[in-house]
A and B are shown apart, each in its own frame.
Chain A
């Protein structure tokens, strides 16, 4: 089955700096890669996703890049703000009828004011 690894496990940045979170996956059949943000006491919230026919996707301060050959994808947050502090999860799935998301272990991002 799919195995998603996420690193580093914690990341601390100064407000205004950029943050990069990297994930690797094992199953070459995976072709959908979402990123979720989870705040304390809440469920994961989808912030951006990418499919395997696209190498990069941007949404304001957030971008995701995908390298299918190397089986890794990354989340880039620019101009970080204190409200970006949360746990971020990457995930992977295929697009079959019985697809399911496999999550990484998460990274705690702290943005220092």
Chain B
């Protein structure tokens, strides 16, 4: 069985640009969540989608947006990139909300903003 797949694995962008990160959940999982992990810190919650509806949003600016498609894959978009957006972006899938069924994380997309 394929795990959670994320693309691309690494990305370098310039300040002010926008970026789209992609995630495919484990087959049968209907919930996708996005986390940002800054070096040396724990992951910080950005978004959760369940059955294509936004179920939660963390304390991130409106420059961050996401969506979930009918096949349950998801995109995270970040506009007007700042140097502080440099981080590992993790996607996690689960059957349902995290508290009811555990998360499985992908290996992440390493975003560097220069």
Chain A residues within CB distance 8 Å of chain B: 4, 6, 31-32, 34, 36, 41-46, 49, 89, 91, 93-106
Contacts and interface: CB of A to CB of B under 8 A. Distances in A.
Given A98-B56, A99-B99, A100-B98, 6 more contacts: A31-B99, A34-B102, A36-B105, A95-B99, A101-B45, A104-B42
Contacts, number: 70
A45 B103 CA distance: 9
Nearest to B44: A103
Mostly helix, strand, loop or mixed at chain A's interface? Answer: loop
B55 interface: yes
19 contacts: A6-B42, A43-B108, A44-B105, A46-B103, A46-B104, A49-B102, A89-B43, A91-B42, A95-B100, A97-B50, A97-B97, A99-B56, A99-B100, A100-B45, A101-B33, A101-B35, A105-B41, A106-B40, A106-B41
